[in-house]
Structure formats: C-alpha cells, structure tokens
Amino acid sequence: MLWMAASHAQLPDLGGVKVSWDRYTGPASFTATSEARFKLRVQVDRKADTQPLTLRVELPNTGPNAWPANDVEVRDEGSAALLVQRSGIEWEKLLIPLREGVNSIVVQAEEPFAGWPKTAPEKDRVIQDAASGAQVRIANWPHGRRAALSIRFDDSHPTHLSKAIPILREYGFKGTFMVNPGPKEPGSRQNFSFETQHAEWEEVMKRGDMELANHSAHHRGARSDEEMEVEVGSAAEAIWKLTPGRSKLMALNLGGGTRWETTRTLRHYLDKHHQFDASSGSLGMDDSYGGRVEAFRKALASHLERGLWCRMHYHYIGDGLSSSEANFRAALDIAKQHQDKLWIAGMADIHKYQAERSSTKLTLVKSDANSLTFQLDCGTDATLYDQPLTIEVTPPAAWDAAKVEVKDASGSALKAEIVKSGNGRLLRLEVTPQTSSYSIDSSP
C-alpha cells in the first residue's frame, strides 16, 4: 500500500495510523507507506526548506488495528534509533523531531525480548471430563468474585497518609499509591511525601495492607534515555527497599502532563525494572470532573456485568482538595455494597492474576469414574507473578463434594472450600501459579 500525502493532508487509511506535521505549514511534504504489520515508513521531501521539522504520528490503541504502542520505536535510514517525544499517559502519540539529513524514518513495533504475549484460548482453562463427569476450571477472579476493583492514589500527597489510608482501613480495602520518591528538586511544585514522610510509608508497608506503585521519581518527564532510566529505575529501587523479599513487579504510570524523550521502547523500561504499564483505562475521581460518585456507580455496574477490572484514581483527599472526604466515602460505600461480588485489591495483585490466568492451560492427564489428574501449565515468571490462582472443581452429582480430596504433585492435600453453585456444589481452592499436576479423588 502506498499513500501519498500532501503537506498536511491526512489520507484516511494507514491502518488507522495518522501522520502529520507538528506545527508546520511550509512546502515540505512526506509520503507514508505501510510496509508490514506494525511497520510504517515515512519519506520526507524537504523541498529545500531548512526549518526544523517534526512529524506527529498517532497509532490506534484500540480496535482490530491497535498497535502495541509500548513496543514502538523509530529508526532512520541507517537504522539508528531516534529520540521520540511522548506524553506520560499517551504513549501511542509520537512526536518525532527530524534532524537535518534525516529524510526517511521507520516507525515499528519491536517484538519484546520475551516474545509477544501469548494468551491461551479460554477453552484451555477448562477441562470437561467425560470419564469422571467432573469439570475443572480456572476461575475468572479469586474467591468466586465477579469483577475486580483497584483504588489508586497519585502524586504522593500527605493526605494519602493522613486521610486515604485510615479511611481505606475502616472499609478494609487495599489502595495502590503511585508515589514520586524524589529526591525533591529545587523549584519543584510536586509533593514528595514519600521522601519527607518516609518513616510513615515504611510503617504502612510493614503492615502490608496497601500497595505502592511507580509514578516516576519526580513527575516531570525526561529529556534523554539516561534521564528516563533514572526516573523509572530509581523510583522502583526506592519502593523495593520498603518491600524486601516480595515480588518486584509493580505498576508504572509516568503521569499526566509529563513529556518523555527516549530512543527506546517503553517495554525496555518496563521489562528492565519489572514494571507493568498502568497508564490508561482508569476513572478519574477528582471532584472537578463533576458527578464522580454517579460515574463510579455506573462504571462499577458495567464492570460487574462484564466481569472486568474496574480502575479508579484519586489525587488528594480532603475538603477543598481534589476529592472531598464525603465524595471519597460515598464511592467506597458503593464498592462496599458490592463487596461480595468484587475483588478489591492492589493493581499489581489484579494484573498478576490476569496475566497468570491468560498464560495458563489445563490438560487432562488421566481420569476414571472416581478420580481425575490434571496438569496446570503456567507461562509467567513465578518470582514476579506470585498471586495464587483460584481453581474451581465441579464434581459430578454422584460424588459427595464433602469427601472429595485434591492433592498436589507431592501428594499433600490442598485446602478446598465447598461452595453452593446453581443446584449443586463446587470446590474452590488456590494453587501457586507454577507448572504442576494435581489429582482429584472422590473416595480417598
């Protein structure tokens, strides 16, 4: 496919990619060509214009043509990676300054070191066995819940310690705190409560009922690979210091209103520092947006209906601040009303469960009328992904659910909860997200 573009006209289809000049109205023109899936070449004809030129490339991030924006980099004719500018929360929108002499660039998604994520089809997470009549499946969410909810707080504000955490504890909910560990820089208007109230955060993490996440060291972006490395890496290190011995995996959100300039993919930083991207898909709860409590009620209902992960985020909690205490409590009250159907957890907890589950396959090893052995193959790294998976076993009507025993590969019996389901009963148990086999016996 070859699409000719006049100086700023944008032809409708490059698989949904939009290419244009950034703030330029001179004679120079470009031609954008789709060369392969997730590979686009842009040829520039400067027409003797010596002004600095910047290309704006917007990649579709939803729908069938969505690009894996976190894996995208830009190279010149000589295959040198170019510095690209992006907003912290819109990685799919690229601003590419073209140095003199650079007249052809390739925008492409680079396959991650660990390969493209593989999702086993849903049928691979269920065994419907004819010989025993039993069904084994990996539950959509832990503890029989229908959907998940994460409650996030950005920008390390002192009211997270003075208001948000005590109130969350009243409700028994876990919050995810996106912190800027600093150190504080002169002239910065950012809050650095993580640095100035370090002992209090240390206390929170010792108690272990809240989660920390990476909002970059200073919430001000970066102008080079080196700076970005420090902004992401030093923040992760500061958080790991408070969570010794625990999984290093955490959520990363580079922050709204920040600009990042790097030659590398976001994936490079995510993988290197054991982070996952948590920059989008969240309901902003600042009072200034208006009608937040109702918006949350609706969002939660729709996520419950579809069995999905509902994300919300706050800034500062308190009267006259971004969210009033009354509105904060009103939203938590709504979550509380649905608590029996809702897994309210940290963002890393929820991300881990989803990633583990989608990489897991169940296969039948052997079965007869009274027993069944299955293999669980899990594709995630157990040192990072340590959220237990929930398995549900529906025994055939002929079995006495109370007598059914599930054993791991070493022969130890696992603790199963017997719960009512439809007109029968099922066994619910938790397993470690690692490849192993399990046996189910109706008459041990």
DSSP H helices, 208-312, are 225-241, 266-272, 292-306
CB of 92 to Zn ion, least distance (A): 19
Give the sign of the dihedral formed by CA 184, CA 185, CA 186, CA 188. negative
CB of 59 to Zn ion, least distance (A): 23
Distance CA 291, CA 330 (A): 12
Burial class (CB in 10 A: 0-12, 13-18, 19+), 95: middle
CB of 236 to Zn ion, least distance (A): 16
- Count the Cβ atoms, other than its own, within 10 Å of residue 18: 15
CB of 257 to Zn ion, least distance (A): 7
Q: Which is nearer to Zn ion, 308 or 321 (CB)?
A: 321
Query: Given the rule CB under 5 A, which of 38-46, 250-258, 297-305, 382-390 is the region that contacts Zn ion?
Result: 250-258
Task: Give the binding range for Zn ion (CB under 5 A) out of 21-29, 95-103, 124-132, 249-257.
Answer: 249-257
User: Side chain identity at 293, as an amino acid letter?
Assistant: V
Tell the residue number behind the tokens 């619910």, with chain if given.
428
Parallel/antiparallel/unpaired status of strands 389-394 and 424-431: antiparallel
Q: Enumerate residues 6+ apart whose C-beta is below 8 A from 68.
A: 38, 109, 116
Q: Is 154 in the site for Zn ion (CB under 5 A)?
A: yes
- Tokens representing 351 are 């991300």
Q: How far is the CB of 363 from Zn ion (least distance, A)?
A: 44
Task: Draw the binding track, 262-301, toward Zn ion (x: CB under 5 A; -: no contact).
Answer: ----------------------------------------
Q: How many residues bind Zn ion (CB under 5 A)?
A: 3
To the nearest whole angstrom, how small is the minimum distance from the Cβ of residue 22 to Zn ion? 25
Closest to Zn ion by CB, 108 or 214? 214
Strands (E), 263-408: 275-277, 283-284, 309-314, 342-344, 360-368, 371-378, 389-394, 405-407
Is the Cβ of residue 28 or residue 312 nearer to Zn ion in the bound state? 312
**Euclidean distance between CA atoms 75 and 104, whole angstroms:** 9
Residue of the chain from 175, 181, 255, 346 that contacts Zn ion (CB under 5 A)? 255
- Among residues 228 and 440, whose Cβ is nearest to Zn ion? 228
CB of 89 to Zn ion, least distance (A): 9
Please choose, out of 41-49, 152-160, 357-365, 375-383, the segment that lies near Zn ion by the rule CB under 5 A: 152-160
Binding track over 164-193 against Zn ion, x by CB under 5 A: ------------------------------
> For the chain, what is the total number of helices (H) and then of strands (E)?
9, 27
Q: Which is nearer to Zn ion, 92 or 154 (CB)?
A: 154
Q: Is 231 in the site for Zn ion (CB under 5 A)?
A: no
DSSP, collapsed to helix, strand or coil, labels residue 228 as: helix
Q: Is 138 or 212 the residue whose CB approaches Zn ion more closely?
A: 212
User: Using the rule CB under 5 A, is 155 a contact of Zn ion?
Assistant: yes
The packing angle between helices 292-306 and 325-337, to 10°, is 20
Residues that bind Zn ion (CB under 5 A): 154-155, 255
